[in-house]
Structure 1
């Protein structure tokens, strides 16, 4: 017995001695929760536990995705060395071999077809340093104008709307900590309870404090259950609904006349626009009863404080930018911005959706939110980079449009980093065909994704546990992701990969970086004086202060907690209201006799984006092993659909097969399918190619479809 006890305590002691901890941040949503991985060696195996760490934004909270994030990092399918495709099969290669193949192909393509024959497709899940470096790599190492990123499919509507209205875009105009003090909150097209669960306590606290919460969504969700009023708007009619609210506010004299006269341009144009409409027309068009339109207008206008939040439900339409602008019109009409408890928040989707769009991955942008077509901006960045301004490329095209350029023969090669466009883009069959047409495709990723399978070379990327760098979270807070876990085998960081390819191409002197901090210090200079000014942010300050809200222009600046207190970012200091039509300027996918139902898409809590990472987590995959379609019981009865059976959903572009899920929480004219699955369950096969004319956002949230039992398919 004594021997057994000694053995037990000896084992326990060894267990304690072998425990290691690694600080990091969640790789998933824009809350960027701080976390710590605890690694315990127990005899012949290792046990992992993830706990939250205190921080200003999430205060130690984690959701189910964050708790289980490490499972994909240690998955057996993780890429650990370069792969080269030989005779249609991937074979292991050394880094030297892979880089040589990349160099040879890039040079061959550009010699034959010009610099712009190479394209770069980036990501909103990489660090600020890597997003910055990717933009520099495209414009300096490749000298191509064709660069864009998957954030175009996520945040471009909100970003363009905020820029046009306020003069700048920081996602949140005030700190997240102000939400509980707001008296009326509009959640437009956002299911935060499943997409950003750790933000929910702020809204729950607001409700405890007496806030009136309005949720706008065609479906009942875990988020709408929190609301006092749920507006079940018809998909694609958010702009019209906002016009109805504006009409009531203006015609019933609920506006803040002093604020409008002092700080807003364009109000008269908006007044004329909405007075030309009738509430009956808007009710018929949007499906929202007039009494609900009035109630929203009165509650939001009359409360002392109020905030509006938008997300993909409003933004992912061919008039998404205009729809967001109309919600901002509401905000400005009642003067609820620039003061405590009042403001706008774009609920960013991807982990670094904010920072990744600020420093040069977008087709028309340079670091610091500078514009690539602005001569002064070009000159400044050229000086920082040590290149001739005339050699900087001009503006390219948006993410989806790059695939059109491939089809047209203008692009022959692509470097793609940490994205899966075959699954994430609209008109997905077309995108897959485009990638197959490329002469050369390089993919940098953690796994062999659906897109990576088409690559000629795959390079192994480091994970959130291994890759140190800064991220900018949902509220515009720059945070430092500590990441000290050793990279497995031959894995390298994204920034190292870019530097090594640049070296192979003879541009190494422009990429001399030896650490992520080296890159960040150049980013600070590149952003200095720009709208997104990070100059006053340093790694040392981020460690001490747990994050800083930009703009932060000097080393002694405390960061900007609340924007627009005294003026907006336009040259005259005023915000710009603009009239918005009820009907999108780009034709939408209208329902008809053949395709009688609206299809909308979104997320489930256990998965993230195209599922490349979360489907590698056993704990997350088990929660949702397959896709599904949410359908109202009355609609199911009409079309002969039984619960939990395979059904075929078809649009004008293709079809998918998923399992039915009957629910009376959705409109009878609408179906919902999540977008985390590929192949025969890829809902983006059904989505059209039409783009928002302002920001080039596809219309993910509205497709005309029909539904049949899969057993009826021949």
Structure 2
């Protein structure tokens, strides 16, 4: 085999990749110890971008090196069972028998709701669909949620309320160069989705004015015409001030408002008392910058607003997104070329992963689990009585709280690393330690897998066929390009084999992954996220198809809402709901605001990217970005170890002094576990609308510490 055609497993662009086999020299002897276990075979493979509609053939440094983790010697290639405190090799028969036996005894003793299922936003559509069905029909539990709760829930819930439908982007990527004004709110495209940056550069070349809203001077902010370097947690009040100025200056589209929206009159009370000067003081930016941003966007003929985790990962993220969408509706900038709203999805299948049943309140096709008609339809597809489908459960972090109270006593984790990605890690660690059984399906011994009673080895993106839905709603087929190593199994096959042992195999009788997709198509038919017209044959011929696609003859819908919105009356809904401002409870004890985010070379909790020598070498350890003035005030030197503490916990990272951050703010990446995990200190408070944790706003203190203290706090390694 000299060539493999595949698709990047990382961000939501889902770039296509060609891997070519070439002879190469062995790795140099100077290879860092942290990656010394890497399989040298990967050096024989070189990646290049394959032409595709989304990235136009571009790939970034993560895509170039993605195959390295799939070929790493640390890959799990056989099941592990904990014996006498140590994870040791086991057979598949023993592992699956033990899991199914425990599931059955736990359900008898404590009820099926004592079992929780925890999924991931990088799973294929087929596995995400099957995981939801397995939880509800195989295990009969209502407790299933996934790590996408921490990624897209604020934007998803906002889009559903405002438009009647949640598709990350209402426009196409090709619309970006057509926009006269672009607002990037809390999104660092240059590092998180770098293959999209040329679209924005083209827009600038066409004369577009780009506004970036971010507490940091990121690589994305560097391309902006206007950077609003606001205090973390003030996005919502800024959006209200922009709307107030747009309405006050008459930059609204009255015809669009009258003919295509509801609720505009409710904005009057929401905007009462909005004063630009006061908002500027709250946001920590000049008032003139707010006026300039409102003028540019309000008067532009075309424009797009993009949001991402910077806005969304807050306890008012749902309303903050809706307030920004108010700007879109007030100016009529949606449903035509060069216009729209887009939530920049983080995870590889963040869009598809939330459409087909992994969420606590959701059935396939983005149907509601509480809607009797939706339950009836899915029950007919699954050939069960509607009453057999459990009611809705709770969000991902709330599942951890239930586990800590021992209401959930067994947890099955697939494609996620909750002991790193959740907020308030001290509670999460305690919850997982108390479980009667923790089962983890993963490619590597992640931080969560190290705590497991049973670990199941799964195939990687190179070996697992399935569909994924990119950030613009385009469904793509990623076919297996390599044989599965060792005894690894596709995640969907594991679910089917467990179902057989639970005497539910007749509901999970699939020969190939395409069979699952065909059932998913039927289950989604007529739903908000309608995939019925999409087939594997079409995806092979057409490269990708946008949903909704209700019939095989339908071309899909690249540009949303050209004529009507998805509410029954065809109108979008303005948001006039008041909110309480999010502010860290700073005090003399905790005087700084901690925010977190991503870096170019890593993905999620780093389980995969740290197994790539090329990517790990770029960022070997975590760090805190701190302003020079703040560093001097706290007696910190560049490169020095620090302890960052909140009311919830503490972690240790090295100091990186930079004038790109606000003096009142600290920035720490989210990709590391153990003592370097930023979520050791984040708050458990959740957005009341979507249950998104407030990752971006935590009051903390910082102080220098000796390296020896860090080593003492480090968690012991686990050998197998």
Is TM-score (shorter-chain normalized) higher than 0.5?
A: yes
Distance in 2 between residues matched to 1:113 and 1:373, nearest whole Å: 24
Q: Look up the match of 2:20.
A: 38
Deviation, 1:42, is 7.1
Which whole-Å CA distance do the structure 1 matches of 2:530 and 2:643 have between them? 49
Separation (CA, whole Å) in 1 of partners of 2:481 and 2:297: 47
Check if 1:23 corresponds to 2:20.
no
Correspondent of 1:604 among 581, 599, 603: 599
Residues 207-606 of structure 1 aligned to structure 2 (within 5 Å):
207-581=204-578, 583-584=580-581, 588-606=583-601
Give the Å deviation of 1:289. Answer: 1.9
1:631-653 deviations in Å (ceiling 9; x for gaps): 11011111111111111111111
Question: Could you tell me which of 103, 109, 112 is aligned with 1:106?
Answer: 103
Deviations 1:158-203 (A, max 9, x none): 0000110100011000111111111100000000100111111111
Structure 2: distance between partners of 1:657 and 1:495: 38
1:625 aligns with 2:620: yes
Deviation by residue 1:437-476 (Cα, 9 ceiling, x = unmatched):
1101110000011001111110001000000100000100
Q: 1:236 and 1:97, CA in 2 relative to 1: closer, same or farther beyond 3 A?
A: same
Distance in 2 of aligned mates of 1:562 and 1:375: 31
Alignment of 1:698-713 (within 5 A): 698-711=693-706
Cα distance in 1, alignment partners of residues 19 and 283 from structure 2: 47
The residue number in structure 1 matching 2:120 is 123
Contact 1:22 1:483 in 2 (8 A): no
User: Does structure 2 retain, via aligned residues, the 8 Å contact 1:29–1:349?
Assistant: yes
Structure 2 vs 1, CA of residues 712 and 674 (structure 1 numbering), >3 Å: closer, same or farther? closer
For the 8 Å contact 1:250–1:271, the answer to whether it is kept is: no
Judge conservation of contact 1:122–1:417 (CA < 8 Å) in 2.
yes
Q: CA deviation at 1:43?
A: 11
Q: Secondary structure at the match of 2:350?
A: coil
CA contact (8 A) 2:404 2:428 kept: no
Number of positions where the alignment pairs a residue of Structure 1 with one of Structure 2: 694
| Aligned match for 2:184, one of 183, 187, 204 | 187
| Superposition deviation, residue 40 in structure 1 | 4.0
Deviation at 1:588, TM superposition (A): 4.8
For 1:265 and 1:287, locate their aligned partners in 2 and report how far apart those are by CA, in whole Å.
33
- Alignment match, 2:49: 52
Q: Is the 8 A contact 2:319 2:579 kept in 1?
A: no
Cα distance change on mapping 1:112 and 1:588 into 2, 3 Å: farther
Asked if the contact 1:172/1:346 (under 8 Å) is kept, the reply is yes
Q: How big is each residue's C-alpha offset from its partner over 1:649-686, in whole Å with a ceiling of 9 and x where there is no partner?
A: 11111111111111111111000000111111000011
Deviation at residue 580 of structure 1 after TM alignment: 4.6
Question: What is the CA-CA distance between 1:482 and the residue it aligns to?
Answer: 1.6
1:640 pairs with one of 622, 625, 635: 635
With over 3 angstroms needed to count, the CA separation of the structure-2 counterparts of 1:414 and 1:300, relative to structure 1, is: same
SS at match of 1:368: coil
Offset, 1:293: 1.0
Q: Report if the CA contact (8 A) 2:182-2:209 is conserved.
A: yes
Contact 2:212 2:227 in 1 (8 A): yes
Q: Distance in 2 between matches of 1:350 and 1:606?
A: 14
Checking the alignment, whether the CA contact within 8 Å between 2:6 and 2:17 is kept in structure 1 is: yes
- How far residue 275 of structure 1 moved from its aligned partner, in angstroms, is 3.2
Aligned to 1:95: 92
Render the CA deviation track for 1:402-460: whole Å, top value 9, x for unaligned.
01111222111111001000100000111011011110111000001100111111000
1:13 is matched with which residue?
none
Cα drift, residue 278 of structure 1: 1.6
Distance 1:333-1:501 versus aligned 2 partners, 3 A rule: same
Alignment check: 8 A CA contact 2:641 2:707 kept: no
Does the 8 Å CA contact 1:589/1:688 hold for their aligned counterparts? no
CA distance, structure 1, for counterparts of residue 111 and residue 249 of structure 2: 60
Cα displacement (A) at 1:316: 0.1
How far is the alpha carbon of 1:272 from its aligned partner? 2.7
Deviations for 1:497-533, whole angstroms, at most 9, x for unmatched residues? 0000001100000001111111000000000000000
Deviations 1:41-98 (A, max 9, x none): 6799741111111111111110000100111111111000111111111111111111
**Cα distance 1:396–1:588, how it changes in 2: closer, same or farther (>3 A)?**
farther
Kept in 2: contact 1:237–1:582 (CA 8 A): no
**Cα deviations across residues 198-255 of structure 1 (Å, max 9, x unaligned)?**
1111111111111000000000010000100000111001000001101101111111
- Conserved in 2, the CA contact under 8 Å of 1:318 and 1:588? no
Unpaired runs of 5+ in structure 2? Answer: 27-39, 710-720
Q: Residue 583 of structure 1: CA displacement?
A: 2.7
Shift in Å at residue 582 of structure 1? 5.9
Q: Compute the displacement of 1:273 (Å).
A: 1.6
**Within-5 A mapping of 1:625-704:** 625-704=620-699
Gaps of 5+ in 1: 1-18
Give the Cα–Cα distance (whole angstroms) in 2 for the partners of residues 320 and 641 of structure 1.
33
Alpha-carbon distance between aligned partners in 2 of 1:229 and 1:31, rounded to the nearest angstrom: 26
Instruction: Assess, with a 3 A threshold, how the Cα gap between structure 1 residues 526 and 682 changes in structure 2: closer, same or farther.
Output: same
State the secondary structure of the residue aligned to 1:566: coil
Distance in 2 (CA, whole Å) between partners of 1:571 and 1:287 is: 41
For residue 288 of structure 1, report the CA deviation from its aligned partner: 2.5
The 2-side partners of 1:400 and 1:43 are apart by 46
Alpha-carbon separation, structure 1, partners of 2:23 and 2:280: 62
For residue 281 of structure 1, report the CA deviation from its aligned partner: 2.2
8 Å CA contact 2:262–2:571 kept in 1: the answer is: yes
Shift in alpha-carbon separation, 1:505–1:340, aligned structure 2, 3 A = same
CA displacement at 1:572 relative to structure 2: 1.1
Asked if the contact 1:307/1:342 (under 8 Å) is kept, the reply is yes
SS in 1 for 2:6: strand
Aligned Cα root-mean-square deviation (Å): 1.3
Asked if structure 1 preserves the Cα contact closer than 8 Å seen for 2:316 and 2:579, the reply is: no
Runs of 4+ that moved beyond 3 A: 40-46, 711-714
Cα distance, 1:589 vs structure 2: 3.3
For 2:453 and 2:635, how far apart are their aligned partners in 1?
46
